[in-house]
Amino acid sequence: MTTVQDPQEVEPQGLVARARDAAKRSWADFIAWRSFPHPARVSKARQAFRKDIGGAVDALKRFQIATPVTRAVRASVLEFHKERTARSARLRLLAAYVIVAEVLIMLRFGPRTASAAGDILQALRERASSTLAESPAFLHPVWIMMWIAAALIGGLLTLLAWYLNLGLISFALMLDARSHRAVVAIVRALAACEAVDGATGPKRSAALNYLSVCMEDVTKQLRRAPRLRAVPRRAGRRKMARLHVDRVVQCIEATEAKLYECGDQALVELVGLLAKVADRQADGRIFALLDARRLKSFPEPKRDWEGLRLGLLAIVIAAGAVGAGLLAMSDPVTMILILSAGVLGVAVLYGKDVQRGLNNLEFWRVF
């Protein structure tokens, strides 16, 4: 049977061993301190989490909504409050100061360094040529390998500095917390719906105003969510997500508008809608925040870029006219150059809808 000795009864192993053990313990304590934030900030985060989730749970119970507050929603809200309160404000301010200092240094010395980059590369090229000319032939591969290793080390250091700056920006701006803002906004809107139910007089007006503010925040955070969750741009996924979110926002706004027509009867539909959107947003289902059947009466919004296209076309034609005037050619050639600039602008700005662009170009014939 193996006996375990009391650590206080073990004889010291020497000065070097004790110093090594003390260093290991200090490093372990430092890692533990950095990994786990201050207990007071953790307690504050949990209190804010209970307040938000408690309001949402009470709202769902009051309106008898079958959709519960899921584990994903709870985890998203808790992560939001942890990111907001667990990090020290002084450290975030220090990170922001470092970022601003780096930007100022780059603005101050960047242009000078870029202008001298050609001279530096030329000096390095001449130094390498002289080194190879003066050294024996059997050392040439060694020198080449050393230069390649130096270039790789420089590239790795640049990449490391880039990722370090990204980490500082994320830490200072709390980008991890911002990705959960949509779910938190919806949870707070649920609590606001409960405050509106049954309120009368001035209390109802104040509750409706607060609900309007919460719903505005919900729509804003939902529109930001595709960007914050880093939806890839390939295959038009980012555009598809934005179009779907726009339709969901239309549905939410239409349901909210019923509140001013039907009164408290519309709160049940609004709360159920918000609960479903919060659940799917927390799960990351940005392409299916609501079912297609629910969004049938809300077509995809189409943005009108006609005014911007006409403005850019006018700039292109004006630039072509100025350029043709500077060339000081004959009038027929000048007109051909201006017309060519207009046709080129139409081809670039209108794409497949060239015919409509040419019809708009007819306006310039009066001049």
pLDDT digits (tens, 9 = 90+) for 274-286: 999 999 998 888 8
Answer yes or no: pTM beyond 0.75.
no
Written as six digits, the tokens of 129 are 């040529």
The confidence score (pLDDT) of residue 273 equals 92
Nearest to residue 224, comparing CAs of 241, 211, 208, 207? 241
Which position has the token pair 């006219």?
321
According to DSSP H, which parts of the chain are helical? 15-35, 39-62, 71-85, 89-134, 140-173, 175-178, 181-196, 201-228, 237-262, 265-282, 306-327, 331-350, 354-361
Cα distances (Å, whole numbers) of residue 201 to 16, 196, 197, 206, 210 = 77, 11, 12, 9, 15
How much is the average pLDDT of 318-347? 78
**Measured between alpha carbons, how far is 30 from 39 in angstroms, rounded to an integer?**
16
Written as six digits, the tokens of 170 are 């994320």
Which residues, 6 or more positions from 104, have their beta carbon under 8 angstroms from its beta carbon?
none
Question: pLDDT tens, 226-255?
Answer: 665 567 777 677 788 888 888 999 999 999
The confidence score (pLDDT) of residue 172 equals 65
The confidence score (pLDDT) of residue 31 equals 45
CB atoms within 10 A of CB 282: 23
How much is the average pLDDT of 147-164? 84
Q: Does residue 132 or residue 5 have the better pLDDT?
A: 132
The confidence score (pLDDT) of residue 359 equals 73
Burial class for 179, CB neighbours closer than 10 Å (0-12, 13-18, 19+): buried
pLDDT tops 90 at residue 20 = no
Burial class for 93, CB neighbours closer than 10 Å (0-12, 13-18, 19+): exposed
pLDDT tops 60 at residue 29 = no
How much is the average pLDDT of 34-41? 55
Q: Residue 25's pLDDT band (boundaries 50, 70, 90)?
A: low
The confidence score (pLDDT) of residue 219 equals 92
The confidence score (pLDDT) of residue 8 equals 41
**Measured between alpha carbons, how far is 352 from 354 in angstroms, rounded to an integer?**
6
Cβ atoms 32, 162 nearer than 8 A: no
Question: pLDDT tens, 195-210?
Answer: 888 888 888 889 999 9
